[in-house]
Amino acid sequence: MPLLLVALLVVVGALTGIATSQVRRRADDAGSGRRALVAEVHRQTTQTDQLEVQASRLRGQVQRARDVALGAGATGRSAAGQVAELELVTGGTSVRGPGLVVTLDDARDVSSQATNRAGQFGSGRVYDRDVQAVVNALWAAGAEAISVNGQRLTAMTAIRSAGEAILVDFRPLSPPYVLRAVGSTEQMEPRFADSATARRFTTWISLYGIGFAVNRALDLRLPAASTPDLRLARAAPALSASPSAAPATTGSPTRSAVPPATPGRTP
């Protein structure tokens, strides 16, 4: 009988050892796969950043060559003025000037928040619709150009989410989310502060611990937006040298192509 018990214990021990070894091997495989995926994401992100720098440099060369070519005659100079105006309102050129800086951030203990808010958990987290709401409120307050974490917004910009990440033009961003808006601070600041969006976020500071700060800036610099994909092109009509042929003025803001956000939190 003792021999049988000893044999049984040996078998059980061997099986336990084999099972433990297999679990560890699987965990190591999963960990190595995750590390490889993270490394690939970092590599691709670095490559994308390098390509964006190269594209920005090439855009500058093209712009300088275009200005030289168009500056040869009166018709070309008129066309150059129209192009400059259009680039400003469509985000095709960098801008600089005074404005507002709005910072949004997740609550410090967001992981412990368990309140269900519109089908999502974590009332202390900043969602894509929150960024959308602030962007739209800044446009309504008179902003002429806006960027989110360095990403310039245009009429083609999409602000969406993938999992817990917020995407701007399909580029993932990490909190804090810094929105820079160029425009008249005397006009934008009181209008934005009086907006329903700003009042909601002010309430959410105490209710959910969300980070929300608005500051003036004397000198903001916003980069040019990425060149959009050309889907359809046709020959432009003949240019007119008459000043009346110029398009709308440069002060018109370019609205971000995102729907107004529906308030998700209920104070």
Element (H, E) at 97: strand 95-105
**Strand, helix or coil at 55?**
helix
- Give the whole-angstrom CA distance, residue 22 versus residue 3: 29
pLDDT tens series, the chain, 267 aa: 566 766 766 677 777 777 777 777 776 667 777 778 878 877 887 887 788 778 778 877 877 887 777 777 777 777 777 777 777 777 778 889 999 999 999 988 765 444 444 444 456 889 999 999 999 999 999 999 999 998 899 888 889 988 778 988 888 888 999 999 999 999 999 999 999 999 999 999 888 889 999 999 999 999 888 766 667 767 767 655 444 433 333 333 433 434 344 344 444
Q: Residues 90, 248: contact at Cβ < 8 Å?
A: no
The domains of the chain are located at 1-70, 95-225
Cα angle, residue 177 at apex, residues 175 and 182 outer, rounded to 5°: 165
Identify the CATH homologous superfamily for domain 95-225.
Protein of unknown function DUF881 (3.30.70.1880)
Distance, in Å, from the CA atom of 95 to the CA atom of 83, rounded to the nearest integer, reads 15
Do residues 137 and 107 lie in contact, with contact meaning Cβ atoms separated by under 8 Å? Answer: no
Determine contact, residues 77/244, Cβ cutoff 8 Å.
no
Closest CA to 143 of 155, 135, 151: 135
